[in-house]
Amino acid sequence: MKDIVRGWRHIPQRYNLIGSKCLHCGEVFFPIRVICPKCRRKGKLKDMKFSGKGKIHSYSIINTPTDEFKVIAPYAVAIIELEEGAKITSQIVDCNNDDIEIGHEVEMVFRKIKEEGDDGVITYGYKFKLK
């Protein structure tokens, strides 16, 4: 039950790429923050919706995943630098892993993240695909 509650709490971030912008230093972050990690100020942050477009900053191919993700291995996980400047980690989908390169432009898509428990609760969220 705890995971379901946490899942609902993160819906704005998962489905809309909502992060934070510090009104003091101008930095942008994902996920939402209550204190700016750069200037350490509280109360000067506002929610910011990201475009979902960016480029691959770095990536890795996962060949030996945890049991939960063995059915999709091998798969690519990348650090994506969004157009607005924030960096996020995400799986790269809908392509051959050999086609992925640093600097490739990507865009956000919604996909199944995992299926949990006997009730088959499915968690969806953002992933990225090559443009």
54 vs 24, 86, 106, 115, 127, CA distance in Å?
A: 24, 9, 5, 28, 12
Domain region containing 83: 51-131
Kindly give the confidence (pLDDT) of every residue in the chain, 131 residues in length, as a single tens digit, with 9 standing for 90 and above: 455 555 555 555 556 899 999 999 999 999 888 889 888 877 689 999 999 999 999 999 999 999 888 889 999 999 999 999 999 999 999 999 999 999 999 999 998 887 776 777 787 889 999 99
* Same domain, residue pair 65 and 96: yes
* Same domain, residue pair 45 and 2: yes
* Same domain, residue pair 105 and 75: yes
* Same domain, residue pair 43 and 56: no
Query: For every residue of 38-86, which 3-state class applies, written as one string?
Result: CCCCECCEEEEECCCEEEEEEEEEECCCCHHHHHHCCEEEEEEEECCCC
* Same domain, residue pair 43 and 99: no
